[in-house]
Structure 1
Amino acid sequence: MSAADDAIAQARALGGKGDLVSAEAVIRAALATQKKSAQLQTELAQIAAAQGRDDEAEKALRAALDADPLYPPAAYSLTQGLIGMGRVEEALAVITPLAEVAKPESAALALQGQALRALGRTEAALDALYTATRIDQADPSHQHNLALALEEAGLHPEATRAARAARARGLDRPETWLIEGRTLLAQDRLDEAETAFREALRRQPNFTPAHRELSLLTWMRSGDLAAATSELDKAIAASPGQPGLRVVRAKLLEYTGDARGAYECLREAPQGESEIEIQMAASQAAVAFDPAAALAHAETAVRLEPDHPLAISLLAEANLALGRPEAILAATDRLRALLPFNQHALALEATAWRLLGDPRNAQRNDYQSLVRTALVETPAGWSSREAWLADLTAALDRLQVMKGHPVGQSLRGGSQTNQNLQRSTDPAIRAFFQVIADPIMATMEAYGRLGDPVLSRNTGRYRLAGAWSVNLRPGGHHVDHLHPAGWLSSAFYVDLPPAVEGEGREGWLRFGKPGIASTPALEAEHWVKPEPGMLVLFPSYMWHGTQPFGGEARRLTMAFDVMPA
């Protein structure tokens, strides 16, 4: 046994007895004569981390890698720590040398894949994770991580297979069942998805993510709130100290029209690790009927985590409900300092300008220039646009399998597709993505490279971030909202009710009415009358919604977000 090995054995024996101070003294004594020992520096880092001295642990791990840049234990520990702190670029720089050796370990590739996933580099992450599974086919965690990346890439059948491969190799965890359920849901395999969520809960009865998915699936399949909350209520009764379950229930109540019930549910939640979640959810629920309470909850959330983007956004929203534009701007200044292109901040900032009569709002929300419409061309293979729209209608109807509207989305009184439409093999749906390319490019060209903080992101190239279809029943509508994860957003009209031709703008797209309460009340400023085959493109920060419509016919649309590439 080497001197370093002997010192580490002594230190671990002391640590096993809870004497970390003596353990550290042993390692430091050994380092006095072996300063370049990566092994000793890594052991010192573990002892420092166990005592909560994270800065010293990082310093020791970096010293270990200075001594041996390819020492796996140090590189793995440092990479995991940096990812946990959100310093993902640094983590990737640490792990990449080990992932690029001639014969890398699967663990190095798995960590590289994790870092790449966190940076949104999905294709590169998949390459690393697929290689990890080939190198070590027996390790189920590699299949689990691969399933996560495949799900993020929208490759849901492949993700399902990877999750099942992880289970077949012995990883019988609720998290793996959860991935399987989500990816089955995205394929409209609803019974199988429900089974997977229930299997996750069999393994961990208070597992909040699985309760969220099961309750939302039950609601969307049935439109029955009591059925959707049945299992959730049992879990809350059995685990009253788990606030996250109450947040899930409150969101269901809020999005089914019972904001006061949602708020009361949250007020009964115990304080604890999830306090900021409770405070933010309470602020969201209260803003429509008690703005002062909403403000108090948002202020508490910001005190708990001063740089939490959602908490700061809720602070701005509560001040909008109270009619305090200067306070809105103070919050949006903080938010934009953290996230310059945050769509919510841009919308709230412009709304405050509108309340103040500031001309900058008219520039930010120049509807005449920025809201662009176009009738798409007839795709190749169809004799007319009408013939293609008929086939597109039939294809989308086959995917509309839900009854209730999704929680967390803007639509009310309708349903939304689950599948990633960009992966569809249906000819009519695939043709959609061909005919929208020219209008998107024309819009970006028209926008140019203006000075606005969003339009300045225009690179002349784009990628789509999601694509979905909404089927609104008579009486349905989209509440006013924005797209926080987008750059440009869209609406495409497939099948429209006769009501859109009437005098009351029924079923029309409207812009400018905030999606939360405001004092004074602000109404829509711009409308677009839809017609079949029309594509509307606009900046994602713009408040938009639809006028409710009557009659007996439905309203079928498609939508997607555009991101600069």
Structure 2
Amino acid sequence: MAGQRLDATQAVRFLQAQRLLQAGQPAEALRIAAALSSEVPRAADAWQLLGMCLAANDRPGEADSAFQRALALLPDNPVLARNYGVFLARYGRTLRVQGELESAEQVLRRALALREAPLSVWIDLGTVLRSLGRIDEALEAYRHAELLTAQRGEPLPEVQDAINGVLADAGRTAEALAGARKLVAAHPAHAAGHETLSHLLWENGAELAPGEDPLAEFRTAAAAQPGNRALQLAFTRMLLATRRPEEALAVLKPLRHRDPDDPVLAWFAADAQDALRHHAEAGALYAAASRTSLGALPAFLNARARHAFRCGDVELAQRCAGQAVAQAPDDQDAWSLLGLAWRLTANEKEHWLCDYETLVGYMAIDPPPGFGDLEDFLQELAEALHPMHNASREPVSQSVRGGTQTAGRLFGRDVAVIGAAESALRAAVERWLSVLPDDPSHPFLSRKQGGVRFVGSWSVRLNASGHHSNHIHSSGWASSAFYVALPRHVFAGDDPGHAGWIQFGQPLEDLGLDLPPRRVIRPRPGHLALFPSYLWHGTVPFEDTEPRLTIAFDMQPSTRRGTAGGV
């Protein structure tokens, strides 16, 4: 197809549209570009301009088509290919952030098919593949990004940090630890690298670095760089997550002296004082921070609501949680706290929100095709999962106590029995969705679709005395617990103490609220519990030499069915 050139008048309008784009007036630019592409339908410049304008007007699908039309008219133009690659890179990143992982992968791979694709494409592709559980492919993408940065003489610590994370996901923990040590030695100012190193040592140090304090290197770096705010905040977060509030306050003291009006520092100090049960000091700090821009931030409002519960101020807790829900209607933390406030004030809305009989599903799954029966399937699944539990303790800031959790995403790994489990569990979820009632005013039921996309998946192995502390799932809409293997006494008898059972409705222990669970379920191998992500849930500790092995996953609603991680 022969191309066309713009005449002098059309070229003036082309430049006018470009100036409008640069001036932040994309709608006006789009009107000109649409007219040009209609007038000169075989002009690659007109279609490229239309693509740029459509992208600026948040119409990426149409922009993609316009760029493709331009490229078909002028296939060997390096400027056009470069501009299209930049668009695809941004489009792919947007899809990734939105959780539309399969679509993001397709777009990013098309960007890589063009000449001189941006480095960011390889990084985003690695992130997408890691999120999909395709660990080997993710590592390959990150390695390619690493090679490009080396060729340019501009090594990016973010790329090496991602590689270390993928190595940990793959169970290559010693390599990940060595890489993390190398990274912080070369880039001592890189906060994320220190976080990765500390997490690796926290979970695996007993085996790979006996006697080493997981936070030692982080502490040294923070002390040496008092002006590195990102590093100081990251170190403080780690101290709070590992339950070292006194040290956190010591780190915060000079920072707050230097910048007394920083509301984030006040928030961190409030969290530390609250952890120490210094509630009066914490309350004053939360109140001061609430008068800044933090006062409208859902995460801060949730933190202040938790503090209010600890102080017995249910009215303040309800007000904060209500404000958080108003700001972010899908915030699972906020709904869990608001439901708790309703319970404490005997408000019937608690039963509407939580409805433990209707909204908590519990069912046996069907054995996947190719397995003789459910018992055979569970045995093979357990044999695949056990080697993935190569850490020596639970992760930081997770509900697991006395056990381990697999790294990275479980579903999507190149393990046949895990793929079979994913399909069987998806089918069970869709059966559950089909019988749930409709309620357009309900924060959970109103979002119900025909299917789901998995946004996180992992396995937990609890040992003797292990349990899950009461918690909710902030990243989900619906969550789950699938029982692969259990100590026999957990499911074989009616233990009056409910050892090893799952319980719903009892809040986070450190809120200090003496509330019993609303519903308790005895788990059975091959059975699946499903529930809204904002429901408080945990497990009762048990004593047994046999481990308690489960798979869990978080979900977001989706209209598509049958595709792992579908969008």
TM-score, reference length from structure 1: 0.80
Task: Supply the distance in 1 between the matched residues of 2:301 and 2:59 (Cα, whole angstroms).
Answer: 28
Show structure 1 runs of 5+ residues with no match: 1-32, 46-56, 83-88
The match for 2:473 is 483
Q: Kindly provide the CA deviation profile for residues 331-376 of structure 1, in whole angstroms up to 9, marking residues without a partner as x.
A: 2232222221211111111111111111111222221222221122
Contact 1:493–1:556 (8 Å) recurs in 2: yes
Residue aligning to 2:7: none
CA distance in 2, matches of 1:76, 1:239: 43
Match of 1:295 among 280, 283, 305: 283
Aligned mate of 1:392, from 374, 381, 389 = 381
Q: What residue is the counterpart of 1:560 in the other structure?
A: 553
Provide closer, same or farther for how the CA distance between residues 283 and 374 of structure 1 changes in structure 2, counting only shifts above 3 A: farther
Note the aligned Cα RMSD (angstroms).
3.3
Equivalent position SS for 2:96: helix
Of the candidates 89, 107, 120, which is equivalent to residue 99 of structure 2?
Answer: 120
The answer on 1:547 being equivalent to 2:540 is yes
Whole-angstrom CA distance in 2 between matches of 1:479 and 1:76: 50
By how many angstroms is 1:174 displaced?
0.8
Is the CA contact (8 Å cut-off) linking 1:471 and 1:555 kept in structure 2? yes
Q: Deviations over 1:181-220 (max 9, x none)?
A: 2222222222332343344334421101111111101111
Residue 215 of structure 1: which of 198, 214, 228 is its match?
198
Partner Cα separation in structure 1 for residue 64 and residue 181 of structure 2: 38
Q: Identify the range of structure 1 (532-541 vs 251-260) with the bigger mean alpha-carbon deviation.
A: 251-260
SS in 1 for 2:342: helix
| Distance change (3 Å), C-alpha of 1:438 and 1:165 | closer
1:200 to 175, 183, 187: 183
Mapped partners of 1:379, 1:558: distance in 2? 16
CA deviations 1:533-559 (Å, max 9, x no partner) are 221111111011112222433221111
Aligned residue for 1:135, secondary structure, equals coil
Amino acid at match of 2:481: A
User: Helix, strand or coil: the match of 2:70?
Assistant: coil
1:13 — aligned with what?
none
The answer to whether the aligner puts 1:163 opposite 2:131 as a matched pair is no
Residue 219 of structure 1 aligns with an amino acid whose one-letter code is W
Structure having greater relative contact order (Cα 8 Å, sep ≥ 6): 2
Q: Give 1:460's aligned residue.
A: 450
Contact 1:173–1:200, Cα closer than 8 Å, also in 2: no
Partner of 2:414: 425
Among 209, 215, 239, the alignment partner of 1:229 is 215
TM, length-normalised to structure 2: 0.80
- Residues 298-346 of structure 1 deviation map (CA, whole Å, 9 limit, x = unaligned): 4444423343221121122222222222222322232222221211111
- Stretches of structure 2 that go unaligned for 5 or more consecutive residues are 1-11, 35-44, 72-80, 559-567
8 Å Cα contact 1:444/1:458 also seen in 2: yes
Give the Cα separation in 1 of the matches to 2:229 and 2:53.
Answer: 31
Give the match for residue 515 of structure 1: 508
CA distance in 2, matches of 1:300, 1:157: 48
SS in 2 for 1:422: coil
CA distance in 2, matches of 1:113, 1:443: 32
Does the residue aligned with 2:214 lie in a helix, a strand or coil? helix
Matching residue within 12, 15, 24 for 1:58: 24
| Residues 316 and 203 (structure 1), Cα distance of their counterparts in 2 relative to 1, 3 Å cut | same
For residues 407 and 169 of structure 2, the distance between their equivalents in structure 1, rounded to whole angstroms, comes to 5
3-state DSSP of counterpart to 1:556: strand
Q: How does 1:341-356 map to 2 (within 5 A)?
A: 341-356=330-345
Percent identity between the aligned chains? 29
**Cα displacement (A) at 1:512:** 1.4
Q: Are 1:108 and 2:74 matched, yes or no?
A: no
Q: For 1:64-463, list aligned pairs within 5 A.
A: 90=58, 92=60, 96=64, 99-103=67-71, 104=81, 105=83, 106-137=85-116, 139-169=118-148, 170=151, 172-223=155-206, 226-270=212-256, 275=262, 277-288=264-275, 289-302=277-290, 303-451=292-440, 452-463=442-453
Q: Distance in 2 between matches of 1:91 and 1:268?
A: 48
Q: Distance in 1 between matches of 2:330 and 2:65?
A: 33
Residues 268, 386 of structure 1: alpha-carbon distance in 2 compared, 3 angstrom cutoff: farther
Distance in 1 (alpha carbons) for counterparts of 2:117 and 2:452: 39
Q: Distance in 1 between matches of 2:109 and 2:261?
A: 35
Cα contact 1:216–1:228 (8 A) shared by 2: yes
CA distance in 2, matches of 1:438, 1:475: 33
> Aligned partners of 2:30 and 2:197: how far apart in 1?
45
Q: Distance in 2 between matches of 1:234 and 1:41?
A: 51
Please say which of residues 378-387 and 363-372 is displaced more in the overlay.
378-387
